Structure 1
Amino acid sequence: LEDAGFHTIEAVAYAPKKELLNIKGISEAKADKILGEAAKLVPMGFTTATEFHQRRAEIIQISTGSKELDKLLQGGIETGSITEMFGEFRTGKTQLCHTLAVTCQVQST
């Protein structure tokens, strides 16, 4: 499988059966078994809109301490996701990180 470009279990789990059958030495029965075992290891479930909405409802917006920056970020820094900050030195990146570290502790108590 690695020679055919499948380096992770996710790659195998999401591969079409036809792609596995093109690999020399894999029969249809073997492809079915490989896909079945990969599906057991990789969560391939369907998420309904209701479940997705419930997960989104649990997300908290952490205030940056600046009303204008919060407005630009549509409410603040979102939990459960990655927010990247970049810029020249001495523009407040570290100060913002310190403010967020304190703000998230104050809001959670």
Structure 2
Amino acid sequence: MPDLIAERTLVLTLPNGTQERIHVRVWAPEHRPSVMYWEADVEVDGAGDTDKSHGVGIDGFQALYSALFLIPSMLVKYEDVGRISWLGDEWLGFPEFKLTKPKAGSSAP
């Protein structure tokens, strides 16, 4: 098993004011020679549930980058349960994809 390289604790505040911890963990990328790619495991654990996945890539950097971008989608399930925060802020500090329609006059593809 590769080394745990990063962990962040978030707080889930339920509508009744109760707070629960959500742990986000990322492990070092590991080469998978049999399939010729790298994997970086990621886990979201808390509020009675554990979700595991992994980012993949042609090298360790791409696998790690991919794993970090998975985290927001793994946290979406908590949005209907309560409010998630990190250090008292709703910004959780993870990279996110913003799939929004470009503004009028934008040269975005």
Q: Normalized against structure 2, the TM-score is what? A: 0.25
Q: TM-score, normalised by structure 1?
A: 0.25
Relative to total residues, which structure has the larger strand share, 1 or 2? Answer: 2
